[in-house]
Amino acid sequence: MEMKVGLEIHVQLKTKEKLFCKCSSEYRDKKPNENICPICTGQPGSKPMNANLEAIKNLLKIGLILNCEIVRERIRFLRKHYFYPDLPKNYQITSEPIMKNGNFFGIRIREIHLEEDPGRYDLRNGYVDFNRSGIPLAEIVTEPDFNSIEQIEDWLDKFYTFLKFSNSIVEDPGSIRIDVNISTKGERVEIKNVTGIKNVIKAIKYELLRQERSLKIGKEIKRETRHFDEEKKITVPLREKEYVEDYRYIPEPDLPSFKINEELINEVKKDLIIVSEEEKKLKEVYKINEEYIKKIIKNPVLLISINKIFENVKKDFNKIAELITDYVYPICGDKNINLLNLLEDNNFLENLEEIVENLDKIDRKKLREIVEVLISGKNPIEYAKEKNYFLEGVSEEEIKKVIEMVINEEKEAIEDYKKGNAKAINYLIGKTIQKLKKRVDVKIIDKFLREFLSK
């Protein structure tokens, strides 16, 4: 079904202290209402302290990763009023947008702002725990640019990976909460406060199904706010009556407005991986093939590793890109090894460089084995020599002679090939190698074979 989806993503920013008080941000393992003070419980007379700078810095990081512009005007805090037991002041302090107009893997970002997390309300028992109250949140609002579930899943995966990597957010599945705005063939429906990426996908899947069913029986999709029931995996209406919520936003009189200055931005930019900038560098400085650029930028570990190696090795960039992307990184993944840790070892870099230098002379079929040796910390080139994994010097004439012999002997396979059986070529390559009795670059055989066959 055709759909348009926009997301409002809340992530907890990684800080030592809460946003407007000195309480710790480590609330998860504490007894209820142990991690609180007059400020984050909204005691009479308490006021918010100036916003935690660490939170602002981490929000800026996120905005830069998502390719946003920084708002240069003075930014005010606002009060958003609504009554709910987990909200101690019955209003939430939220900032005006701090970053705007971003774009991350094709999805436009409308704005990002800062706000305080409410506490937790246990509706069934009527208990409230304010330990979480005042934890800094970034709310990231996308444009309604998503149009398939796969796209949302893939994008959120990249989003989460890059954010985690920048060390700016709390890594806990429950710390990411998303409001989904979804329109198909009717009014816009909002699914509020879905926890975790997996649940978001489930919620959208269910909601699409529900809307499809409704439309089939001739019911209109009306504008409403729904809630995702994690246990039943369905969405249910949150507000029965249709009314527009009025949050009565007013500027927060207890907090001065603030401005993002250049110094802060530069400080934050250090060590930050911004995909669009990296993409440009790979393309223009290192001249990496499009195919590999696409693979590399998807993955922050790959991206930062390749960057580090490039800075050290300074040549053969495309070969390095291929070796790392297709061999080293996936093998590390299989073995549960962090590639970044390997890069700390100078031996590793030297060995890697040796492989790159010999890449054309090594038997490709044995490359995986050689890389495994590299990762294990031993000398891969010595290993390759011992095992005789190097290609041997064979003249082109010799290869062509053998190919002619094979073609004359393997009439049936050639018929198959001409009928369009692509596998036949592999068979012929194998036969050629057998006859050559030497290690030769498969690519060359492949190339010559095709030339012969096209005659």
Partner 1 sequence: MITKEILSEAISNPIDHFEKIRKEIEKREKEVKSFITLNIDSAEKEVKEKKVGKLSYLIISVKDNILVENLRATAGSKILENYIAPYNATVIEKIKKEGAIIIGKTNLDEFACGSDGTNSAFFETRNPFDLERVPGGSSSGSAASLAAGFCDLSLGSDTGGSIRNPAAFCSLFGFKPSYGLVSRYGLIDLAMSMDQIGPFAKDTYGIALLLDVIHGKDEKDATTVNKRFEFVKRVENFNEKELKNRKIAYATEFLEYCSEDIKKRFFDVLNYLSNFGIEIKEISIPEVNVAVSTYYLVVSSEFSSAMQKFDGLKYGVRIENKDLNETILLSRSLLGKEVKRRILIGTFVTSREGYGKWYKIAMLVRNKIKQRFYSIFKDFDYLVSPTMPVKPWKIGEKKEPIEMYQMDVLTVLANLAKIPAISIPVDKFIGFQVMGKYLEDEKLLEISKIIEEKFNIWK
User: Rule CB under 8 A: which residues touch partner 1?
Assistant: 38-39, 41-50, 79, 81, 83, 85, 88-91, 126, 128, 244, 246, 248-250, 253-256
Taking the complex as a whole, the smallest distance from the CB of residue 225 to partner 1 amounts, in Å, to: 18
Can you name the residues that pair with 128 across neighbouring β-strands?
A: 121
SS (H, E, C) 256-319: CCECCCHHHHHHHHCCCCCHHHHHHHHHHCCCCCHHHHHHHHCCHHHHHHHHHHHHHHCCCHHH
Taking the complex as a whole, the smallest distance from the CB of residue 138 to partner 1 amounts, in Å, to: 21
Taking the complex as a whole, the smallest distance from the CB of residue 300 to partner 1 amounts, in Å, to: 36
Placement of tokens 């996308």 in the chain: 142
Select 189 or 255, whichever has its Cβ closest to partner 1: 255
Select 217 or 244, whichever has its Cβ closest to partner 1: 244
Select 20 or 448, whichever has its Cβ closest to partner 1: 20
Select 90 or 434, whichever has its Cβ closest to partner 1: 90
Select 75 or 342, whichever has its Cβ closest to partner 1: 75
The packing angle between helices 290-297 and 275-284, to 10°, is 150
66 token code pair:
């998502």
d(CA 68, CA 166): 16
SS3 443: helix
CB 110 within 8 A of CB 142: yes
How far, CA to CA in Å, does 383 sit from each of 27, 322, 351, 369? 52, 21, 11, 10
Taking the complex as a whole, the smallest distance from the CB of residue 266 to partner 1 amounts, in Å, to: 25
Select 98 or 342, whichever has its Cβ closest to partner 1: 98
Taking the complex as a whole, the smallest distance from the CB of residue 244 to partner 1 amounts, in Å, to: 8
Select 98 or 402, whichever has its Cβ closest to partner 1: 98
Dihedral angle, C-alpha 15, 21, 23, 27, nearest 10 °: -60
CB-based contacts of 336-339 (< 8 A; 24+ apart in sequence): 337/375, 338/301, 339/301, 339/302, 339/305
213 token code pair:
């069913």
Select 84 or 209, whichever has its Cβ closest to partner 1: 84
How far, CA to CA in Å, does 315 sit from each of 5, 322, 337, 371, 428? 44, 13, 26, 19, 36
Select 44 or 218, whichever has its Cβ closest to partner 1: 44
Taking the complex as a whole, the smallest distance from the CB of residue 242 to partner 1 amounts, in Å, to: 16
Dihedral angle, C-alpha 23, 24, 26, 31, nearest 10 °: -40
Taking the complex as a whole, the smallest distance from the CB of residue 125 to partner 1 amounts, in Å, to: 12
CB-based contacts of 349-355 (< 8 A; 24+ apart in sequence): 349/309, 349/312, 349/313, 351/379, 351/380, 351/381, 352/309, 352/313, 352/320, 352/323, 352/328, 353/313, 354/379, 354/380, 354/381, 355/323, 355/380, 355/381
370 token code pair:
């050689």
SS3 44: coil
Select 14 or 89, whichever has its Cβ closest to partner 1: 89
Spatial CB neighbours of 74, under 8 Å, sequence gap ≥ 6: 257, 258, 259
> Per residue in 135-173, is it b (16+ CB within 10 Å) or e — as a string?
bbbbbbbbebbbeeeeebeebbebbbebbebbebbbeee
Taking the complex as a whole, the smallest distance from the CB of residue 31 to partner 1 amounts, in Å, to: 18
Taking the complex as a whole, the smallest distance from the CB of residue 191 to partner 1 amounts, in Å, to: 23
Select 197 or 255, whichever has its Cβ closest to partner 1: 255
Select 85 or 330, whichever has its Cβ closest to partner 1: 85
Taking the complex as a whole, the smallest distance from the CB of residue 77 to partner 1 amounts, in Å, to: 10
